[in-house]
């Protein structure tokens, strides 16, 4: 119960447990839970389509086969694009358009890429949904034959796309991210800085100055840890040295995670981010670019700030619920608040690194003016109006338990809009810089009582151009403050779902924790940021910070209404607390 650890299911045989003297275990018995939704499902191999090849990868391209085999080539290519790939892509967690089926997956660009051991078909796949809208994905392909490497055929598992036959050979066609030889070849090519011409562009393998130090020269011997079901990216670790992140859905432009990673690694040598060893870029014939993969140092850590915070709150709520044994000790959060202060300092140091004048116009800071604040205020106001309208339309589809709060927020519409509009008069001093862009507790790793900041991709819903825009550093600060609120309420709702009688005792304690964590974070941030000229004194930056907190809460509300109705209550409560005088 206390550790929230799942034990093996109880069967017909005796259930054996070993305990030391005076030890005990406290269990909650419950029916087996269903597997999490969104898991990548693997069809039995015998149910997968069969692609009949006759000349390896060349079988898929009519211009690479003899004339009398063109019809055969077109047939197998059509089967791949209309049968095998659509079924595979639709089941991936990285497929973004989950609300519609996949009609066709076209090989928009491709190259057969060879190493000493194997060859792969590296493709950019244009995925067309039933609505006719298209998205482009990075989808490298591999072939494995049973008579050559049966172990690999079996290891490809959920990466398998189709069965394959070629004369007497039987095997599989699969996503090459399940092929550890491909991943190692990708890293080696980055170290060599090679370029590979494709049908309609080229692959650019680009190391940073830190590649040799981070990766070493023995890539071929590093054991690979292959990914399980993941989300928008695919991550493969090579030993305890590096990890490769494959970006699946592609957008035009340089991914900010690569651009910022190179800046922090090569230019300012910022110590509290994960160093970047290199990247793989795609350059189209028309000059458009897209980032395919990123290579970074593997960092041993104690988990994310989010997981650490939830574990801390789980233990704290358990103690706080025991009212008969006295209130929690006043120093119960001292360890956490010390870490929160450190996190604030590291955030300030990151922003100071972004504020350096290095001669790179993509990163050099620019003055923040009143016109910027006016534009931000107007945008937040427009977003708030749109979200409140959406909330009103969907009110009856939301959980009944939160509808009264929904009505309260809708009734406070004018107050919210006026509160936002008032910030147009805030002071416009300070600077605009690059920033993290999607900053929260899940984007920091706890490492030896300190923090490493990760995942500089920015908000996934925005274009690459929007993510690269300079902004007030306080936007990141607001994101972290909202993350403390999310963590507290996530832990609170989980706890009271099992102990509803303890809600009154733990809710006020949770709010006190949130206030202390936020204050400690802001104290640490202010110490560094003010000293580096990033912000005014804390009291003077309060107004602009509130604008960005409101913006973040409005964004969260929109996201939850659209995607996770059961989570609407967290940003809803956050907005009500601000408007009704709470923190």
Residue 38 is predicted with a pLDDT of: 38
Q: Minimum mean pLDDT among 97-101, 209-213, 385-389, 572-576: which range?
A: 97-101
**Among 40-54, 302-316, 366-380, 512-526, which stretch is predicted with the lowest mean pLDDT?**
40-54
CB distance 276 to 257 below 8 Å: no
Give the pLDDT confidence score for residue 2 in this predicted structure: 42
What share of the chain has pLDDT > 90, as a percent?
74
State mean pLDDT over 99-119.
Answer: 93
Q: What is the mean pLDDT of residues 187-214?
A: 96
pTM: 0.85
HSE (side-chain half, CA atoms, 13 Å) at 203 = 25
Name every residue whose Cβ is closer than 8 Å to that of residue 341 and which is 6 or more positions away in sequence: 520, 521, 523, 524
The alpha-carbon radius of gyration of the chain (Å, integer) is 26
Which residues partner with 119 through β-bridges? 114
How large is the average pLDDT for residues 461-482? 94
CA pseudo-torsion sign 137, 138, 144, 150:
negative
Q: What is the mean pLDDT of residues 490-500?
A: 90
37-41, 499-503, 561-565: lowest mean pLDDT where? 37-41
Q: Taking residues 278-284, report their average pLDDT.
A: 98
CA 169, 174, 180, 184 torsion: positive or negative? positive
Pairwise CA distance, residues 124 & 106, whole Å: 8
Task: Report whether pLDDT(358) > 70.
Answer: yes
pLDDT value at 105 more than 80: yes
**Residues sharing a CB contact under 8 Å with residue 420, sequence separation 6 or more, in sequence order:** 377, 380, 381, 384, 547, 550
**β-pairing verdict for 276-284 and 249-250:** unpaired
Position 44 confidence tier, pLDDT thresholds 50, 70, 90: low
The DSSP string of 45-98 is: GGGS-EEEESBTBGGG-GGGS-GGGHHHHHHHHHHIIIIIHHHHHHT-TT-S-T
């Amino acid at each position: 119960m206390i550790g929230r650890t799942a034990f093996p299911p109880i069967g017909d045989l005796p259930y054996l447990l070993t305990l030391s003297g005076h030890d005990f275990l406290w269990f909650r018995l419950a029916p087996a839970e269903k597997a999490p939704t969104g898991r990548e499902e693997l069809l039995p191999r015998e149910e997968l389509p069969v692609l009949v090849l006759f000349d390896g990868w060349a079988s898929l391209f009519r211009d690479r086969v003899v004339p009398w085999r063109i019809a055969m080539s077109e047939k197998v290519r059509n089967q791949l694009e209309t049968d095998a790939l659509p079924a595979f892509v639709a089941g991936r967690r990285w497929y973004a358009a989950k609300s519609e089926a996949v009609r066709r997956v076209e090989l928009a660009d491709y190259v057969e890429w060879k190493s000493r051991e194997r060859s792969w078909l590296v493709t950019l796949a244009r995925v067309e949904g039933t609505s006719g809208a298209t998205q482009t994905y990075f989808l490298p392909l591999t072939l494995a034959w049973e008579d050559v490497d049966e172990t690999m055929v079996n290891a490809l598992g959920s990466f398998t796309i189709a069965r394959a036959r070629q004369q007497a050979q039987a095997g599989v066609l699969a996503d090459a991210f399940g092929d550890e030889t491909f991943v190692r070849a990708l890293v080696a090519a980055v170290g060599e800085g090679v370029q590979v011409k494709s049908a309609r562009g080229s692959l650019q393998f680009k190391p940073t100055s830190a590649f040799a130090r981070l990766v070493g020269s023995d890539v071929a011997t590093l054991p690979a840890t292959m990914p399980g079901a993941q989300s928008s990216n695919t991550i493969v670790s090579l030993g305890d040295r590096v990890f490769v992140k494959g970006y699946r859905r592609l957008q035009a432009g340089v991914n900010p995670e690569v651009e910022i990673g190179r800046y922090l690694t090569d230019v300012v040598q910022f110590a509290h981010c994960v160093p970047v060893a290199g990247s793989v870029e795609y350059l189209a014939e028309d000059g458009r670019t897209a980032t395919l993969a990123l290579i970074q140092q593997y960092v041993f850590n104690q988990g994310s700030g989010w997981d650490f915070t939830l574990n801390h709150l789980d233990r704290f709520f358990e103690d706080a619920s025991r009212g008969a044994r006295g209130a929690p000790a006043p120093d119960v959060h001292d360890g956490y608040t010390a870490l929160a202060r450190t996190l604030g300092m590291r955030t300030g140091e990151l922003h100071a690194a972004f504020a350096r004048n290095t001669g790179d116009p993509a990163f050099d800071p620019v003055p923040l003016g009143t016109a910027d604040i006016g534009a931000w205020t107007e945008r937040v106001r427009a977003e708030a109006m749109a979200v409140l309208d959406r909330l009103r339309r969907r009110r009856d589809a939301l959980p009944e338990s939160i509808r009264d709060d929904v009505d309260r927020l809708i009734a406070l519409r004018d107050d919210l809009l006026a509160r936002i509009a008032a910030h147009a008069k805030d002071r416009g001093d300070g600077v605009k810089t690059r920033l993290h862009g999607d900053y929260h507790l899940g984007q920091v790793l706890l490492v030896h009582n300190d923090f490493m900041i990760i995942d500089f991709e920015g908000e996934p819903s925005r274009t690459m151009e929007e993510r690269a825009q300079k902004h007030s550093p306080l936007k990141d600060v607001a994101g972290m403050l909202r993350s403390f609120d999310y963590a507290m309420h996530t832990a609170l709702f989980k706890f009271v779902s099992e102990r509803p009688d303890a809600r009154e005792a733990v809710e006020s304690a949770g709010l006190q924790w949130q206030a202390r964590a936020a204050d400690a974070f802001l104290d640490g941030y202010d110490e560094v940021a003010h000293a580096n000229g990033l912000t005014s004194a804390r009291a003077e930056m309060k107004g602009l910070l509130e604008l960005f907190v409101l913006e973040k809460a409005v964004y969260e509300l929109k996201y939850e209404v659209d995607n996770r109705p059961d989570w609407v209550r967290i940003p809803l409560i956050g907005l009500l607390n601000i408007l009704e005088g709470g923190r």
